[in-house]
Each structure stands twice: as structure tokens, then as C-alpha cells.
Chains A and B, each alone.
Chain A
Amino acid sequence: MLKKSSTVRFLTQTILLLFWSALAVWASEPKGSSSHGTNIFAPASTPAKSIADLSVFVLVITALIFVVVVALLVYSVVKFRARATDAGREPAQVYGSTQIELAWTIIPILIVVVLFLATARVIHAIQDAPEPPGAVEVTVIGHQYWWEYRYPKLGIVTANELHIPVSDPSHPTPTFLRLLSADTDHSFWVPELGGKTDLIPNHPNRMWMDPQRSGVFLGQCAQYCGTQHAKMLLRVSVDGPEEFAAWVRAQQKPAAADAGAIAGRRVFETNACMNCHAVAGTAGDGRFGPDLTHLMSRATIAAGAAKNTHDNLRLWIQDPSAIKPGSLMPAMKLSDADLDAVVSYMETLR
């Protein structure tokens, strides 16, 4: 007997030690940066907040069920363990009890009813919300492995970094997204702004968000879409009203025509780049790859896979698989001179 209880004590201590260490290791990690995180429980928009509140409600109910059932389990394991004193005798052979069965059928049914009512309310509130007149409309088109954004009413086409206005609860200016796909299935997930909705070819979807805090919100594609699913990142910049208006104006302009970048522009136009990429105001109107008209207004390239720096840009154009192996952009095999020229040209596209 003594041996058994000391084993139990040893094991309990080991387990507890491991868990506290794990917790400490986890807590020690430096978190966050200047942008917001991706925590479901840090909602910044109404749909995200409704979901977070519902989650807490559901969590509390399931936690209660957990506590009750585990208490019964632990009690029965402890109280009814076989002791040396009752060797050979069998306990009372009980076959069942209709009353008890009824009790533990009816109570769960009631819990289900409560959970369902809370759930249905939030489903309707989010999915069936009407679009107010002041809403910003964006069409999101998923590609392997980047995001295309079109603002039909504003005449803007851009890629990978979404700019939307912050929404004041008293005069809401939510953003309504229409979700389409050019190839396979994707999913738009920015946890702090809302739940995810999939982008499925031939099956347009709709979602909305009304962020109440400005800043950059992160997320990424959540539906496996191929080799570089992992690096199809999302970057949503929630701007104050003036900032947003300024951004819109800048995006609506055609590409800056910088005389110093003529050589690079020629490389761009004669090397099949423009078959995939569009630059407004030039002959380039390809739609297979991201629109580059205002490339330099973006903080990252390759759908967030790398920061938008000179070196990264050069590396990306030289050999995309160095940053994102499996990306559908081919290495163009440019000479160093052509490469430098086209990078300089890209850097004028503000």
C-alpha cells in the first residue's frame, strides 16, 4: 500500500511540474509587435465581439458540465476502489435505474435548448445583418497564394494589403466583403475582426466587419489551397477617416510616371511581366498576378511572406522560390542589369 501511494505522489508531482514548466515556457515568449495579434478573445469589431461573448457563454456552460462530471468520476474512482478487505465478494449487481436515466437525459436536453437559442441569435445577427448605405464594399478574390482586392465603387484594384476605415458605432461605416475565388478554395481569417468565411470558386460569399480600433490586423488564409497556403497572409490596415480617404485618393491615381525608370519599365513591358501583372496607365493589364500600380504603398510583398524592401524585392523577382517555394510566379531569369532596372522601376510605383 505504501509503495502505491508514493508512486502516485511521485507521478502527480511530475505531472504538475511538467505543466507549470510548460506554462512558464509559454508565458516567457515575447508577444506582439506594433500590430495587433490574432487572438480570438481580443475582438475589435462587432462580429468578432459577438462571437467572443458567445464563446465565453458556451465555455462557461461546458466548464460547469466538465466540473460536475469529473467530480463524479473522481469520486467513484476513489470511493469504490477495491480494497484488500473485500477480496472475493462481488458488489451489489445493479442493472440500471429509469429515474436516473430520465434525469440525465432531460437536463442535457435543456442545456442544448439554451445553447441553441444563444447560438441562433448570434448566427442571425451576424449573417443576416443588412448593409447600411455608408458601407465600404470590397470584392476579395482569392488566388493561389495572394489576395486581390477591388473596390468597385471607388475604382480601386490592389492586392494583399486591405485598407478599410475604422467604424464609429454612432455612425457606422462597416466594410462588406464579397468573397470570390479565381482557382481553388481559400478562407479569409482575421481573428480580431471576425470569424472566417471561405472563398470558393463559383460560390460567392459575403461577410462584414466594422473595426472600432485603428491599426494593422493580421490573419492568414485558413483553407488549405496548395503548396504555399502557409504564406498567404492577411494584413488589414484599419485607418482613421482622413487616412483612409488619403489612401483611396492615392490608389485611384494611375501609376507614377518617373522618367528615371524608363529602362526598368521597358524590361517590365517586354519580359512577359505584364502578362500577369497590371500597372494602371501602362500596357500592363494582366490579372493573373497582383496589381502593381501602387506596389510601394504596401509594407510587405508576396502576400506577407517578406517585407517590402529593396533586397527582398530584388530576390523575389530574381527567384520567387527563394522566398515562397511553390509560388506560381516563375523565375524570369533576368540579367543583373535588367533585374536592377526593373526593381528601380517597381520602386517608383508609389
Chain B
Amino acid sequence: MSSNAITMPGAQIQARPWVDELHQWLTTVDHKRLGVLYILSALLFLAIGGVEALIIRIQLMRSHNDFVSPEVFNRMFTMHGTTMIFFVAMPVLFGFANYLIPLMIGARDMAFPRLNAFSFWLSFLGGLLLYFSFFGGSGLYGAGNAPDVGWWAYAPLGSRAFSPGHSSDYWTLALLVSGFGSIGTAINIIATVLCMRCPGMKISRMPLLVWLNLVMAGMVLIAITPLSAAQIMLLIDRYLGGHFFDTQAGGSAVLWMHFFWIFGHPEVYILIIPSFAFMSEIIPVFSRKPIFGYPVMVGATVCIAFVSMSVWAHHMFTIGMNSYANSFFAITTMAVGVPTGIKIFNWIGTMWGGRILFKTPMLFSIAFLFQFLVAGLTGIIQSSAPVDWQLSLSYFVVAHFHYVIVGGILFALFAAFYYWYPKMTGRMLSERLGKWHFWLFLIGFHLTFDVMHIPGVLGMPRRIYTYEPGRGWDNLNLIITIGAFIQAIAILVFLANLVISYLKGPRAGNDPWDAWTLEWSISSPPPAYNFATVPTVASRRPLWDLKHPEDPDSRYE
């Protein structure tokens, strides 16, 4: 099958001096390079956030431990949460979106390449700003140190009265800056998908990854902005004497909660929907069948996007809303489980009747299905408001959302890494190291996060730097910590795989997985211009049509 790429065999670009190479990377507007930059910066912050997690786990290993002081611990959980959500999960997903969307729609770049670069650097510099807080000078109590108000910075804890100094300002500004970067990327994704598809690629023929990232981008526009607005209000309170969240002046702490969670809940769907996108591309290829129910998958995602904007106060079941409000948010939260469940069934339906290949991307995908199911079910458990009056603010919630983010999003990301790394670098990741990575991480993950539900049920609240002995929490916490270290080792194996395979991995070729979307029709890595001639497509799986001219998809659509 001939490729669209014009790479003359044997032509070797002269190796450039490393300064030139660095300059190319720093000034690039190429979506592929920006995608890689997003991913690399996310991996850096993943390592830092992971260290913060390990510090937390060592401190909680046993009751009345004194590995770190309460002040340091409180900074650790604040920074861990903020880092992982804003400087790991969002960038890495934007990175993959950036890399893949133009390739999958037959375009040569994103709609606004310079805006793309600007958005990346805003995001990265936001991360640096957040971490500068550690060095911002530790003078008076709270003056110039890392934020310690939790990643939600609830009012009035984030106000000048309770958070003197600048630590909360670093939190606010870092997220404001990177938030604008996210909005830039969202605008770029929407314009790219709506305006730059190759001929024949009607909206109903786009790969699901493109569809789902389009939905995600739409959500970013209306979910990140409430947080930006609330942060501007917080800055007005802290620096201009405003009273938005000043309870002494009649202001409302609950208003901050509403604004934060109007951002915060859709945010987690912004994170999970691109993960669904990875699954919707990978599971079909390794089951050797098309995705089961493409239109339903699209419809369910759009449904999730809408309904998820109406569930936010399930994070606020304990704040004293009246019974009607609590009932409303309970039912909307339960309702959002329906389209989500439908997606799980459709993925299983894709595997059903297929020929499943257990390569590393598929191992992570199968684990994703199991774990996301559990995570969704513990979500349903908490959607019942009275049950949540017990479970909220406890380690049950911490277990639940790590199950979603690590067991769901991170596993899907690992699958995406193993699947698209060959396209990005031209080399295959080692299957052997991949399986070590998978099994180690799986064991560590379950040891930590399965067990973590139990202290929650036994009354252990979250965000505590130590706890009393005799409540039945000690040994459980020890087991959880051990699992965390196993996961850390697995991450090291993964990072080693990334590096070793880059240097010595087997060459990948255009299409190592025998897949069906446009990115596999060009070389690995693709040339700077992606496609020598803009392709034309007639179905959802253009490469399937090419490989099976006797039975093309275009006949069935």
C-alpha cells in the first residue's frame, strides 16, 4: 500500500548542532512538536507530583508519624492535586490531541499554529510559576511558600485573612495563566475540527478520537472559564479589598464552592472524555473489528457533556443544601451514569466476536474497562446523597477519584503511549518492558486503591497529616503505601522503556498495528507537512477500505 509521504529513501538530513535543534523546538509551531512538548512537560510534572504523593504516603504509613510537619504535608497534598490535574492530565491529553487530530483528519497542522505554541507555553509557564512558590522565599508564616489550601482553595481559607502571604496567589495566578492556555487550545481544536477536515470527511466520518476531543474542547470553553472568573474574584478580594467571598461582609463561602465545582465537575469529564477517545481507537484495532455503535458513542458523549454540567453540587452534598437541591443533584448524577455505562457496553461489544490481540496497549485497555467500571460504580454509590453524607470528605472519595484518574485516565494514557509512540518516534516500545510495566503497575494500583476504600468506610477523613491509632486505619494505610511504591517502580520501568526504545527499539514502519485511520498512512515519524497530497476519504476507516477493497466500509455507511 503506497503512502502519501514523500520521503526519499536514503535521503538523510544533516545532523544539526544541538543548539539549533533546541531553538527549533523552542520556537516550533508544528502541532506534532508541540504535542511532544506537552507530553514531555506532563511527564516531568508527573514525576514531581508522584514524589509529592510518596511523601504523603510515607507520612500516613502509620499513626502519629512525623516524617513531615503538618505545614509541609498540607502543601504536599495541595501541590499534588493541583499538579496532577492542571500540569499533568490536561497537558498530556492536549498533547495527544494536538499530535493526532490534524493527522486523523488529513490536515497539515492545527487551525492556528502560533496560538497553539502560545497556549503550550502559557501552560508550561503556569506550571513553573506554581513551583516557583516553593522558592518564593519563606519569610513570615505563609509568606511566599507553596500553597497549602487544598486544590479547591475553599473560601474563606483562601482569603487574605486565613492565607496571608503569597502562597495562594501562586496557586491562583498559575491556574489563571494556564487556564487561558487551555482555552486557546480548545479554540484551536474546535476550529481545526470544524474547518480543516479533508474532503469526504464529513462530521459523521471523523474518527471517534476527533469527535470526543471536539466535545472536550467545547466543554473546556464553558467549564474552565468559571474557574478563571472565580479566581479573578479571589484576586479582587485579596488585593483590591473586594468582598466576593468575605463572610464578615455578608459574602458567601458557598458561592465559591458553586463556582469552583461548576468548573470542577465538568473538568473531570474533560479529562475522561479524551481517555474514552483513546479506548475507542485502540480497542477496535486490537479486537480487529470496528467500534460497536459509532453513532451511539457520539451521542452518549454529547449527552455526557450536557448532563455533566448539571451535577456539580454532588461535591457539596454536605454543605447544607435543602432536600430538594440534594435530590436534584442526586438524580442528575445517577443519570450521567447511563450514557457512561453505555460506552462501557459498546467497548465490550467491540471486543465481542473479535480476535483479541493482547499487546501492551490492549492490556492497559482491558484493565481500563474493569477499573473504570468500578470507578463509575463507586461514583453511583456516592451519588446517593445520604450515603455521601458519610462517604464525602473521607478516603472513600479519594479512592474513588484515584480509581477514575489513575485506573481510568492513566491506564488509557499508557495504552495511548504504547499505541502511538511508534508513530511519533518511528520505533516500537519494548513489549517485554511493557508487560513488566503493566503487571507491576496493576498490582501496585489495586493494592493501593482497592484497599483505600476501607479507611473511608471506617471514618478516616481526607487531608489529615496524621491520625489516631486504634481506629483500624494503621495497617490499611501501610498496605496503601506499599502499593504506592510498587506503582512508582512501574513508572520507572515505563520511563526506562520510553528512553531505551527511543535509542534501540525496533523500527516501526508506517503501520505497525494494521490500523485504519489516516495517521497510519504516512511515515513514522511523519514528515513536517504530514501529507504530501491531502487525502480524500469515503468512510470512517479509510485504510480498511484500502486494505479490503472487496469489502470497504463505504459500502455500509
Is A in direct contact with B (CB under 8 Å) within the complex?
yes
Instruction: Given contacts A104-B342, A230-B467, list 13 more A-B pairs with CB under 8 A.
Output: A15-B446, A29-B472, A40-B391, A51-B386, A55-B384, A73-B369, A104-B345, A115-B383, A118-B384, A195-B388, A198-B320, A220-B461, A233-B468
Shortest CB-to-CB span from B174 to chain A, Å, is 20
B residues 391-446 near A (Cβ < 8 Å) are 391-394, 439, 443, 446
**Is B538 positioned at the interface, with any CB of A under 8 Å from its CB?**
no
Q: Which residue of A lies closest to B296 (CB)?
A: A101
Interface residue ranges, A against B (CB under 8 Å): 11, 14-15, 18-19, 22, 25-26, 28-33, 37-41, 48, 50-51, 54-55, 58-59, 62, 65-66, 69-70, 72-73, 76-77, 80-83, 86, 89-97, 100-101, 104-105, 108-109, 112, 115-116, 118-120, 122-124, 126-128, 179, 183-185, 187, 189, 191, 194-198, 200-203, 205-206, 218-231, 233, 304, 325-326
Please state if B479 and A26 are interface contacts (CB–CB under 8 Å): yes
With A191-B459, A220-B461 already in contact, the answer to whether A72 and B393 are too (CB < 8 A) is: no
- Give the chain A neighbours of B476 by CB distance below 8 A: 26
Q: Which 9 pairs from chain A and chain B are nearest by CB?
A: A195-B389, A38-B459, A230-B464, A205-B320, A96-B293, A202-B247, A201-B247, A82-B355, A224-B463
With A15-B443, A108-B342 already in contact, the answer to whether A198 and B458 are too (CB < 8 A) is: no
B residues 445-494 near A (Cβ < 8 Å) are 446-447, 451, 454, 457-468, 470-472, 474-476, 478-479
Interface residue ranges, B against A (CB under 8 Å): 69-71, 74, 148-150, 154, 156-157, 162, 247-248, 250-254, 287-290, 292-296, 318-320, 322-323, 326-327, 330-331, 334-335, 337-338, 341-342, 344-346, 348-349, 351-358, 366, 369-370, 373-374, 377-378, 380-381, 383-394, 439, 443, 446-447, 451, 454, 457-468, 470-472, 474-476, 478-479, 548, 551, 553, 556
Q: Which residue of A lies closest to B335 (CB)?
A: A112
Q: Which residue of A lies closest to B366 (CB)?
A: A77
Shortest CB-to-CB span from A202 to chain B, Å, is 4
Complex partner residue of B374 from A11, A28, A51, A66, CB under 8 angstroms: A66
Shortest CB-to-CB span from A117 to chain B, Å, is 10
With A112-B335, A230-B70 already in contact, the answer to whether A185 and B253 are too (CB < 8 A) is: yes
Please state if A82 and B466 are interface contacts (CB–CB under 8 Å): no
Shortest CB-to-CB span from B130 to chain A, Å, is 19
Please state if A92 and B322 are interface contacts (CB–CB under 8 Å): no
Shortest CB-to-CB span from A115 to chain B, Å, is 6
Shortest CB-to-CB span from B282 to chain A, Å, is 15
- Give the chain B neighbours of A123 by CB distance below 8 A: 323, 326-327, 330, 385-386
Complexed CA–CA distance, A128 and B327 (Å): 12
Most buried by B among A38, A218, A221: A38
Complexed CA–CA distance, A202 and B254 (Å): 9
Complexed CA–CA distance, A227 and B466 (Å): 11
Shortest CB-to-CB span from B503 to chain A, Å, is 27
- Give the chain B neighbours of A226 by CB distance below 8 A: 74, 157, 162
Shortest CB-to-CB span from A12 to chain B, Å, is 11
Please state if A229 and B464 are interface contacts (CB–CB under 8 Å): yes
- Give the chain B neighbours of A54 by CB distance below 8 A: 384, 386-387
Q: Which residue of A lies closest to B475 (CB)?
A: A29
Please state if B288 and A225 are interface contacts (CB–CB under 8 Å): no
Shortest CB-to-CB span from A233 to chain B, Å, is 7
Most buried by A among B386, B474, B553: B386
Please state if B459 and A40 are interface contacts (CB–CB under 8 Å): yes
Please state if B157 and A195 are interface contacts (CB–CB under 8 Å): no
With A73-B366, A120-B327 already in contact, the answer to whether A222 and B461 are too (CB < 8 A) is: yes
Complexed CA–CA distance, A89 and B548 (Å): 11
- Give the chain A neighbours of B385 by CB distance below 8 A: 119, 123
- Give the chain A neighbours of B254 by CB distance below 8 A: 200, 203
Please state if A201 and B253 are interface contacts (CB–CB under 8 Å): yes
Shortest CB-to-CB span from B65 to chain A, Å, is 11
Please state if A73 and B70 are interface contacts (CB–CB under 8 Å): no
With A29-B472, A195-B389 already in contact, the answer to whether A58 and B252 are too (CB < 8 A) is: no
- Give the chain A neighbours of B288 by CB distance below 8 A: 82, 90-91
Shortest CB-to-CB span from B157 to chain A, Å, is 5
- Give the chain B neighbours of A200 by CB distance below 8 A: 253-254, 319-320
Complex partner residue of B380 from A62, A92, A94, A218, CB under 8 angstroms: A62
26 sampled A-B residue pairs with Cβ under 8 A: A15-B443, A22-B479, A55-B384, A55-B390, A62-B377, A62-B380, A76-B352, A76-B356, A80-B352, A81-B358, A82-B288, A90-B289, A96-B349, A112-B335, A122-B384, A123-B323, A184-B253, A185-B154, A198-B319, A200-B319, A202-B250, A218-B468, A222-B393, A222-B462, A224-B462, A229-B74
Please state if B351 and A77 are interface contacts (CB–CB under 8 Å): yes
Shortest CB-to-CB span from A192 to chain B, Å, is 8
With A90-B355, A202-B251, A227-B70 already in contact, the answer to whether A22 and B451 are too (CB < 8 A) is: yes
Complex partner residue of B330 from A116, A225, A304, CB under 8 angstroms: A116
Complexed CA–CA distance, A62 and B389 (Å): 18
Please state if A51 and B338 are interface contacts (CB–CB under 8 Å): no
Complexed CA–CA distance, A63 and B422 (Å): 39
Q: Which residue of A lies closest to B74 (CB)?
A: A227
Complexed CA–CA distance, A15 and B447 (Å): 9
Complexed CA–CA distance, A55 and B296 (Å): 32
Please state if B156 and A80 are interface contacts (CB–CB under 8 Å): no
Shortest CB-to-CB span from A22 to chain B, Å, is 5
Complexed CA–CA distance, A227 and B463 (Å): 10
With A77-B366, A123-B327, A205-B320 already in contact, the answer to whether A58 and B387 are too (CB < 8 A) is: yes
Please state if A76 and B457 are interface contacts (CB–CB under 8 Å): no
Please state if B289 and A94 are interface contacts (CB–CB under 8 Å): yes
- Give the chain A neighbours of B471 by CB distance below 8 A: 31, 37-38, 218
Shortest CB-to-CB span from B141 to chain A, Å, is 9
Complexed CA–CA distance, A50 and B387 (Å): 9
Please state if A96 and B465 are interface contacts (CB–CB under 8 Å): no
Complexed CA–CA distance, A231 and B320 (Å): 24
Please state if A185 and B318 are interface contacts (CB–CB under 8 Å): no
Please state if A228 and B70 are interface contacts (CB–CB under 8 Å): yes
Shortest CB-to-CB span from A177 to chain B, Å, is 12
Please state if B389 and A185 are interface contacts (CB–CB under 8 Å): no
- Give the chain A neighbours of B287 by CB distance below 8 A: 80, 91
Please state if B322 and A127 are interface contacts (CB–CB under 8 Å): yes
Q: Which residue of A lies closest to B293 (CB)?
A: A96
- Give the chain B neighbours of A198 by CB distance below 8 A: 318-320
Q: Which residue of B lies closest to A90 (CB)?
A: B288
